Structures are given as structure tokens and as C-alpha cells.
């Protein structure tokens, strides 16, 4: 009996995928970004998550996203960008870009989410964030503060704000696929369904690139 299970499961998954694709409707589950935004040159598809560390929806998305990342298509390049669309979000946007500058994103990204949403730490200014980083990494608070307040990090935040305005982003989490398509849980219907819509949009972008 077991030898028949794999073919049956494969057919079921194929039908499920086809059903999801058939139900994805432009202007309902996703919208086009106009004008199309620049993406890194080359044949790969860029998928970008725009998030805010203080957002509970972004926090609850992380396990779903991490599972998706473990099986994403090989021709997909994934990136994160901290949302800078609200003044209240800017301290944690600066934190993210400082993490990037110091190579701390792999080590601290999930921990920073957990600190805010599980341990209820208030990390909303340069001093509290710098102390937190010093206690969870080998980067001294003074060094992190220097990077956090640097011109480079300030410029990254300004560029993020400009890009997010151009992409029509007004809420988080939001995903941008290859600079062409935008979706979020409100459009897609749920966090899990959003990742299925992202898969659909990847296939659309692949088709445009002749694959």
C-alpha cells in the first residue's frame, strides 16, 4: 500500500497548487507596483519582505517565512527591509540597518523579535537597543551606538522610505516580488496564503524572464 502513497500525494499537491493559482486574482490577492521598481541585475527573482520589529503580524509571520525560506526556489534571492513609513518605527528601522552593517542580522533578527513580543522588552530608542545588542552579541554598546547613529545607516533609512513610498507600501508585513508585484496578509487573506501568493508571483516573474 505504501508504494502507492507517493504518486497519490504528488497528484494531490499538484491539484492543490493548481487550485491556488486559479484562485489568485490581481487587485484582490496582489497588486502591481507602478512603475516597476529596480531590482538587482541578472536572471534571479528578488523577493523582499518589508517589516517592522514592533509589528505582531510580522513577528507571527517569522516561523511561516522561515519554513518557506528552507524550500524557496533556487533562482529566488530573498532580502529584508525594515519599514520606515512611520516616525514611530524609525528607531527599530535604524536598528535593522545597523545590524546589517555589523553583520548581525543572522544572529539577532529573530532574537530581537522575541525580545519585543515574548519578553516584552521596550526597545524603542538608541540607548535601550544598544544595551540590548551588547548583552546579546560581542559588539559593545558604544560601538553599536556609533553605527546606529552613522550617516550610512541614516541614508539607508531614507532610501528605504523612498522605496516604500514608490512601492505603495502602507502596512506591514508586505512582500514585493521582483519589483513588480505587492502582496500582504490583508490582500492574500492570511499569512500562509500570502506565501502561496508569493509563490504564484514568483512564477509570473519567471515567465516574464522566459523561464
User: Over the stretch 77-104, which tens digit does the pLDDT of each residue have?
Assistant: 999 999 999 999 999 999 999 999 999 9
Cα 165-109-43 angle, rounded to 5 deg = 60
Residue (of 34, 39, 61) closest to 50 by Cα position: 61
The total number of structural domains that make up the chain: 1
pLDDT (0 to 100) of residue 210: 76
The predicted-structure confidence for 12-36, as pLDDT tens digits, reads as follows: 434 444 444 557 999 899 999 999 9
Asked if the structure places residue 179 within a domain, the reply is: no
Asked if the structure places residue 119 within a domain, the reply is: yes
Asked if the structure places residue 16 within a domain, the reply is: no
User: 20 is written with which cell numbers?
Assistant: 491556488
pLDDT (0 to 100) of residue 11: 44
pLDDT (0 to 100) of residue 41: 87
Asked if the structure places residue 12 within a domain, the reply is: no
Local structure of 78: helix, strand or coil = strand
Asked if the structure places residue 14 within a domain, the reply is: no
The predicted-structure confidence for 38-59, as pLDDT tens digits, reads as follows: 998 889 999 999 999 999 999 9
SS3 string, 42-57, reads CCCEEEEEEECCCCHH
Asked if the structure places residue 1 within a domain, the reply is: no
pLDDT (0 to 100) of residue 27: 85
pLDDT (0 to 100) of residue 8: 45
The structure's pTM equals 0.87
**CATH code, 67:** 3.40.30.10
Residue (of 30, 82, 39, 52) closest to 199 by Cα position: 30
- Please give the C-alpha separations between residue 146 and each of 71, 106, 142, 152, 174, in angstroms, as whole numbers: 37, 20, 6, 11, 30
101 by Cβ neighbours in 10 Å (0-12 / 13-18 / 19+) ranks as middle
Asked if the structure places residue 3 within a domain, the reply is: no
pLDDT (0 to 100) of residue 23: 78
pLDDT (0 to 100) of residue 9: 41
Q: Please say whether the beta carbons of 46 and 39 come within 8 A.
A: yes
Asked if the structure places residue 25 within a domain, the reply is: no
**48: domain range?**
38-174+189-208
Q: Please say whether the beta carbons of 162 and 113 come within 8 A.
A: no
Amino acid at each position: 500500500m505504501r508504494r502507492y502513497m507517493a504518486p497519490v500525494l504528488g497528484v494531490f499537491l499538484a491539484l492543490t497548487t493548481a487550485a491556488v493559482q486559479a484562485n489568485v486574482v490581481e487587485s484582490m490577492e496582489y497588486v502591481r507596483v507602478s512603475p516597476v521598481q529596480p531590482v538587482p541585475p541578472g536572471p534571479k527573482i528578488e523577493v523582499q519582505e518589508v517589516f517592522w520589529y514592533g509589528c505582531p503580524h510580522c513577528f507571527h509571520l517569522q516561523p511561516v517565512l522561515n519554513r518557506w525560506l528552507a524550500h524557496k526556489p533556487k533562482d529566488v534571492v530573498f532580502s529584508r527591509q525594515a519599514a520606515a513609513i512611520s516616525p514611530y518605527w524609525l528607531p527599530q528601522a535604524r536598528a535593522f540597518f545597523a545590524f546589517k552593517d555589523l553583520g548581525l542580522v543572522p544572529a539577532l533578527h529573530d532574537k530581537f523579535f522575541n525580545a519585543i513580543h515574548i519578553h516584552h522588552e521596550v526597545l524603542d530608542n538608541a540607548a535601550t537597543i544598544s544595551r540590548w545588542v551588547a548583552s546579546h552579541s560581542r559588539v559593545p554598546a558604544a560601538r553599536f551606538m556609533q553605527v546606529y547613529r552613522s550617516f550610512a545607516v541614516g541614508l539607508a533609512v531614507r532610501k528605504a522610505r523612498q522605496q516604500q513610498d514608490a512601492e505603495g507600501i502602507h502596512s506591514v508585513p508586505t512582500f514585493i516580488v521582483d519589483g513588480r508585484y505587492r502582496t500582504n496578509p490583508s490582500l492574500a487573506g492570511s499569512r500562509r496564503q500570502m506565501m502561496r501568493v508569493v509563490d504564484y508571483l514568483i512564477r509570473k516573474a519567471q515567465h516574464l524572464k522566459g523561464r
